[in-house]
Amino acid sequence: MEIYQGQSFPLGATVFGDGVNFSLYSKNAERVELLLFDAKDHQSPFQVIELDPHRNRTYQYWHVYVKGARHGLVYAYRVHGPFDPATGHRFDGSKVLLDPYARAIVSDRYERAAAIGSDDNCAKAMKSVVIDTNLYDWEGDRPLNHEFANSIIYELHVGGFTKHASSGLPDRLRGTYRGLIEKIPYLKKLGITCVELMPVQQYDPEDLPDQSLSNYWGYSPIAFFAPHNGYASDPAPAEVLDEFRDMVKALHRENIAVVLDVVFNHTAEGDEVGPTLSFKGIENRAYYLLEEDPRHYLDYSGTGNSVRASHSVVRRMIRDCLRYWVSEMHVDGFRFDLASVLARDEYGNRMSHPPILWSIDSDPVLASSNIIAESWDIQMYQLGSFPGDRWAEWNGRFRDDVRQFVKGGQGIVRSFSQRLTASNDVFGRIFGDPNHSINFVSCHDGFTLNDLVSYNYKHNLANGEDNRDGTDNNHSWNCGVEGPTDDPEIEALRLQQIKNFLAILLISQGTPMLLMGDEVRRTQHGNNNAYCQDNEISWFDWTLAEKHKDLLEFVRKLLYFNRSTPFFQEKVFWLAPEPHSSTKVEFHGIHLGQPDWQHHSHSLAFTLRNDVFGLKMHVVVNAFHEGLTFELPTDNAGPWQRIIDTSLAAPQDLQLPDTAPPVEEKHYHVKARSVVVLQSQDHNR
């Protein structure tokens, strides 16, 4: 191959004409070697290109153009420089490094242990692959970019969704992007409009304390631009990209948007005793937050390190990465894991105006993309005060307060009323978009919905940490027996509580998010931190769809009711004053206009009215252990219809307006621990 000077931009490996331009940032490197490998045998390079620091370096960028290189070429770097942890430098020429801008990865011979210590790890290192993204035919596909007001999010693990033998898929498709394609009809019928995929950026499957277990969740990124090759049915690098893009395209055909759970707060390289895979050996001081003693890493993620997102080079990499996933991979948005790490300066202090967050907020390429923050890290909680104008936020207060209220907690009714109305007390933006509150009762981190009503305590012994891992603050209630039971009364109560949680989630203002499998009572057997359980503890058991078909139908109708009822698509807070909101909300207790805000109160009712819609809705939530009789508003143009009563058996528990029975009485007896939703339409509008 012929070697030329190359250019500093764009970063990464870019196919130009009859060759490839390679560019890498490293401010303090003394020597850089580009290693080229055969695609089928990448244990040792067939060519090593020494980059001349005068000819192949511009400012802090090392670059070279290789004529004859092409799509599919495997490559890596060795970066030589000072190994001086006392000054924050960790250059190590014995380690073969990934390109931070790599579009694809080969890892079939990878061993994490080989990247630790002083031995050469070339044969056992992950390596990068040259990708020409222009070779793929999108067939006219574009990102959908649904507005939050029209979204029902389903948090989904690509592998776990179809790995179970009951998925009915051939072995080669189980746990893959193509396997997910086969299950799109299920998502469509359920009523999902957006899937939020747990991490699919290439992660280190060996990054966990117990190597007998598996890195299942994937929160250990090492190549931010590359789709994880472990979810492909064909491990060939170009095929991995094609399978991911085929999945996105197939979801878009069914009007289902794709949001990625992205992890820019830390990497798989861990702390000072962790491996050197990429960033550490390229420019450690730029990519990571270091302690005052730079031998050690600041850790706000609980994983050993924190990314230095305030550094200009890292900030650009994150922004380039997001643009790539939108422009070249057609995703519709991002959920940022532990996003508060991105709000820290080089010393780890909180910034009031973090440049990276405002850059994402205002980026024209990302202007139509959904951006969602998990607005905290292990030391900083920014829910409601996250920097930026258009960020949505995972509403952890919704989860906690709804759980406490439904289980019968005291002193929670006022907070509960705020959760029902998009948490204005948290976000303080009465004139903002209420749909920026991403409401959820359960997510990947914690109990499933079934386990929330089946366990008082976590049962994480299978994780190998003596049950010390995972939160103890679950706000769960087992309904009388810990774990599985054959007692029909307890099972009936658990089902009713599940329906209560789901009904509250879907009749609250804000954007609802469901956890994969909650609609069919997927269980993790009390494990509330199944990050390392790539097995039936975590996988979707498809036999549950038949076993719990009545609950599945309840959820389908509930999602349809949400999508077809204009109250839940509004972009103005129900609590906003006139003339900003045409919907009026009024709270009640057992008597109209007299909500019981006392410490011991366990019930709340509210009425929504909107003359523009010609629609009224009355909701009663009774978390008390006895039934209560509630007075109903009587100023309706038409009779009330009973849409939901979670105390009733299927199919009476939820009936859509075209078949819902009338309620003629002036009072409604709401049974213990149940939710009732009534609706009245003005047919004379």
Task: Label residue 145 by pLDDT band (50, 70, 90).
Answer: confident
Q: What was the pLDDT predicted at 424?
A: 92
DSSP structural state of residue 230: G
CB 498 within 8 A of CB 675: no
Same domain as 581, residue 505: no
Number of Cβ atoms within 10 Å of the Cβ of 85: 15
Task: Label residue 429 by pLDDT band (50, 70, 90).
Answer: confident
Residue 600 located in a structural domain: yes
Q: What is the pTM of this model?
A: 0.97
Residue 142 located in a structural domain: no
Distance CA 34, CA 223 (A): 18
Domain count, the chain: 3
Q: What was the pLDDT predicted at 327?
A: 98
Residue 182 located in a structural domain: yes
Task: Label residue 683 by pLDDT band (50, 70, 90).
Answer: low
- pLDDT tops 60 at residue 98: yes
**Residue after which a domain boundary falls, among 135, 164, 194:** 135
Distance CA 442, CA 424 (A): 21
Residue 572 located in a structural domain: no
pLDDT tens digits for 248-298? 999 999 999 999 999 999 999 999 999 999 999 999 999 999 999 999 999
Same domain as 313, residue 456: yes
Q: What is the mean pLDDT of residues 109-120?
A: 95
pLDDT tens digits for 612-628? 999 999 999 999 999 99
Residue 140 located in a structural domain: no
- pLDDT tops 70 at residue 684: no
What single-letter amino acid sits at 519?
Answer: E
Q: What was the pLDDT predicted at 577?
A: 84
pLDDT tens digits for 173-212? 999 999 999 999 999 999 999 999 999 999 999 999 888 8
> What percent of the residues of the chain are helix, what percent strand, and what percent coil, each to the nearest 5?
25, 20, 50
Q: What is the CATH number of the domain that holds 630?
A: 2.60.40.1180
Distance of CA 586 to the CA centre of its chain: 34
**Residue after which a domain boundary falls, among 102, 135, 168:** 135
CB 380 within 8 A of CB 343: yes
Name residues whose C-beta falls within 8 Å of residue 546's C-beta, 6 or more positions apart in sequence.
Answer: none
Cis peptide before 434 (omega within 30 of 0): no
Q: Minimum mean pLDDT among 190-194, 465-469, 576-580: which range?
A: 576-580
Q: What is the mean pLDDT of residues 675-683?
A: 88
Enzyme catalytic residues: 337, 374
User: pLDDT over 70 for what percent of the chain?
Assistant: 99
Q: What was the pLDDT predicted at 637?
A: 67
- pLDDT tops 90 at residue 497: yes
Q: What is the mean pLDDT of residues 30-56?
A: 95
Same domain as 179, residue 130: no
DSSP structural state of residue 237: H
Same domain as 322, residue 296: yes
- pLDDT tops 90 at residue 119: yes
Same domain as 544, residue 614: no
Helices within 254-307 (DSSP H only) = 279-287
Task: Label residue 578 by pLDDT band (50, 70, 90).
Answer: confident
User: pLDDT over 90 for what percent of the chain?
Assistant: 95
Residue 65 located in a structural domain: yes
Q: What was the pLDDT predicted at 134?
A: 95
Q: What is the CATH number of the domain that holds 563?
A: 3.20.20.80
- pLDDT tops 80 at residue 636: no
Domain that holds residue 89: 2-135
Q: Minimum mean pLDDT among 183-197, 577-591, 645-659: which range?
A: 577-591
Distance CA 324, CA 312 (A): 18
Task: Label residue 581 by pLDDT band (50, 70, 90).
Answer: confident
Backbone angles phi, psi at 241, to 5 degrees: -65, -40
Residue 141 located in a structural domain: no
Q: Minimum mean pLDDT among 32-41, 152-161, 644-653: which range?
A: 32-41
Higher pLDDT, 391 or 636: 391
What integer best gives the mean pLDDT of the chain? 96
pLDDT tens digits for 162-183? 999 999 999 999 999 999 999 9
